[in-house]
Structure 1
Amino acid sequence: MSIEVNNESGVEVDEAEFAALARYVLDEMHVHPQTDLSVLMVDTEVMTGLHVQWMDEPGPTDVLSFPMDELRPGSADHPSPPGLLGDVVLCPQVAAGQAARAGHSATEEMLLLTTHGILHLLGYDHAEPEEEKEMFALQRRLLLTFLAGRPS
């Protein structure tokens, strides 16, 4: 599994932790080990440009997902086929503001957003109430089990 984490945001982050989270989520979702994923952190200016270009929305957003091969989760017996999952693009500056309002760390917010972005790449959505319930419950379980297993 190739997980590339690039930080072009100017904000210091532990790239290894984001790679470990991504690997954990992909393993839990039974994604083929020969699947590629990119996680990119950008500043508000770059994120604003992407948000306008791809979503036709003004200003920066917290996370965008760009799927490539439209891979879906597999099962323990049948992992997904190998391929290029896509890109998750995060904006640490937006995440920091959200984290402050939510009462947790910016790193925790960015880990949440990374999980959220990967689930979008795997076909999950939250446009409808039932979809949101399913996606957010899965996102929460994946993040909490990852955090519980990391060294203190």
Structure 2
Amino acid sequence: MSILEIDMIDETDHLPAKTNQFVEDLLQFAAEHLKIEPDTEMSVTFTDNEHIQTINRDYRGKDQPTDVISFAIEELVEGETAIHFKEDEGLPRVLGDIIISVEKASEQAEAYGHSAERELGFLAVHGLLHLLGYDHMTAKEEKVMFGLQKEVLDAYGLQR
């Protein structure tokens, strides 16, 4: 039984099906490991540097490509009102969207000396943790988030 309902979108049209399946399997494993409730939805989009640079510029004010961007539905942005649903409404929990640059992941994998698959897995788990509200803006937050990220990746067998 899958915990997550994941919409996997390959904008590059070049991602092997096995890589797509690997990322989905890893995220399902992470969801179980992190005890995410069943019937939770999210999406993962694989794109290129040009498209993620546009997103990074438009939403984060940084006009450069990045490796992963997460858009958390549950994240409360200053000045916005949180949307809360009653548990008995039967609606699934929607975490949000993860966007990964396959080009940037390949560049980083080469720089770090590991496989592109390992880098995509790292970025997917990193993005998932952001969707769950984890961040790394302070040293304390970074220690918690990166520790949990390493725990999930190690448990799955993706040690560095």
| TM-score tier (shorter) | 0.7 to 0.9
Q: Which residue of 1 aligns with 2:50?
A: 45
Matched, 1:62 2:77: no
Q: Could you tell me how far 1:147 is from its partner in structure 2?
A: 2.5
Which residue, 115, 119, 141 being the options, matches 2:129?
119
CA contact (8 A) 1:3 1:39 kept: yes
1:72-151 superposed matches below 5 A: 82-147=92-157
Matched, 1:32 2:42: no
When structure 1 is superposed on structure 2, of 7-16 and 85-94 the one drifting more is 7-16
2:45 alignment partner, SS class: strand
Q: Could you tell me how far 1:82 is from its partner in structure 2?
A: 4.1
Equivalent pairs, count: 139
1:93-116 Cα shifts (integer Å, max 9, x gaps): 011111111110111111000000
1:43-68 Cα shifts (integer Å, max 9, x gaps): 11111110101110011100000011
Determine which structure has more spread, i.e. the larger CA radius of gyration. 2
Provide the aligned C-alpha RMSD in A.
Answer: 1.7
1:52 alignment partner, SS class: helix
C-alpha distance in structure 1 between counterparts of 2:11 and 2:107, whole Å: 18
TM-score between both structures, scaled by the size of structure 1: 0.85
2:114 alignment partner, SS class: coil
C-alpha distance in structure 2 between counterparts of 1:93 and 1:11, whole Å: 11
C-alpha distance in structure 2 between counterparts of 1:16 and 1:107, whole Å: 11
Q: Could you tell me how far 1:11 is from its partner in structure 2?
A: 3.6
C-alpha distance in structure 1 between counterparts of 2:73 and 2:32, whole Å: 19
Q: Could you tell me how far 1:26 is from its partner in structure 2?
A: 1.2
Give unpaired runs (5+ residues) of structure 1.
71-80
User: Which amino acid in the other structure matches residue 27 of structure 1?
Assistant: E
Fraction of identical pairs, as percent: 34
